[in-house]
């Protein structure tokens, strides 16, 4: 099963089983799922989470509770501007500069602009933990996203800037139905260290290599023109 077929199989399964949660349909997105908060609790019980001061998080619905928890626990949260389309491609949510009653709203993709500053890559400093959304993921740490490639591009840019490295933990929260055998990851795919479901925590001890920097050979001129920050690294 290739990545496209695997995505369709997972989306269909989550919908047919009743596991999918708003927004509907699950197809074409990082799918929300029943038990997403419990999966986040699994992540929050790890040393990697407790030790993290800076979290780069995806903006999708199933990871919302984790972003909110991060702010409540005093962690700075960065979320990418949609499609990395601006000169300052990350939203910065610093809990010390927010009112506590605003944490829940600030962590949502629909309201983050009201509360966050937009910053350039260098403003992030070292990222301790990367939270990724997944359509499917294997117990060996191979992740399949929704197919647009932005999560891997964000890693590539941060890697090129020296802000993610071997000390950075990469985690995802998913439903058990999303834990699947996956195709061999491509060289630019970022492997997961932790896979958290409502039922269990999988430490993958992944053998897949982390990509380092931006691979210009994978980028056409249109993609580089659309994403200003890439122009610094190609």
Q: Which token pair is 16?
A: 């047919």
pTM summary value = 0.96
Q: What is the pLDDT of residue 233?
A: 80
Share of the chain above pLDDT 70, in %: 100
Separation of alpha carbons 16 and 199, rounded Å: 20
- What separation in angstroms does the CA of 6 have from each of 113, 147, 153, 170? 33, 11, 21, 22
Q: What is the pLDDT of residue 221?
A: 87
Q: Can you tell me the mean pLDDT for 46-62?
A: 98
Are 135 and 192 contacting, i.e. CB atoms less than 8 angstroms apart?
no
Separation of alpha carbons 75 and 95, rounded Å: 7
Are 228 and 213 contacting, i.e. CB atoms less than 8 angstroms apart?
no
- Domains of the chain, by residue range, sit at 3-232
Give the number of residues written for the chain.
Answer: 234
pLDDT confidence band for 217 (50 / 70 / 90): confident
Q: What is the pLDDT of residue 18?
A: 98
CA 102, 151, 158, 65 torsion-angle sign:
positive
CATH superfamily of 3-232: NagB/RpiA/CoA transferase-like (3.40.50.10420)
pLDDT confidence band for 149 (50 / 70 / 90): confident
Q: Can you tell me the mean pLDDT for 172-188?
A: 97
Q: Can you tell me the mean pLDDT for 2-7?
A: 98
């Amino acid at each position: 099963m290739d990545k496209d077929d695997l995505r369709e199989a997972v989306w269909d399964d989550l919908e047919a089983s009743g596991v999918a949660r708003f927004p509907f349909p699950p197809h074409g997105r990082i799918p929300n799922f029943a038990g997403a908060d419990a999966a986040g609790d699994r992540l929050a019980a790890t040393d990697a989470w407790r030790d993290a001061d800076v979290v780069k998080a995806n903006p999708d619905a199933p990871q919302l509770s984790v972003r909110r928890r991060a702010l409540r626990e005093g962690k700075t949260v960065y979320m990418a501007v949609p499609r990395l389309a601006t000169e300052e491609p990350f939203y910065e949510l610093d809990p010390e500069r927010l009112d506590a009653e605003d944490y829940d709203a600030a962590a949502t993709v629909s309201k983050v602009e009201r509360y966050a500053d937009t910053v350039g890559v260098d403003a992030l400093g070292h990222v301790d933990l990367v939270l990724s959304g997944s359509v499917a993921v294997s117990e060996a740490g191979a992740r399949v996203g929704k197919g647009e490639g932005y999560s891997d591009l964000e890693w590539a840019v941060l890697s090129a800037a020296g802000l993610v490295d071997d000390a950075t933990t990469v985690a995802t929260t998913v439903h058990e139905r999303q834990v699947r055998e996956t195709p061999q990851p491509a060289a630019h795919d970022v492997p997961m260290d932790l896979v958290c479901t409502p039922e269990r925590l999988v430490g993958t001890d992944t053998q897949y290599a982390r990509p380092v920097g931006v691979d210009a050979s994978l980028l056409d001129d249109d993609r580089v023109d659309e994403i200003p920050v890439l122009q610094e690294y190609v």
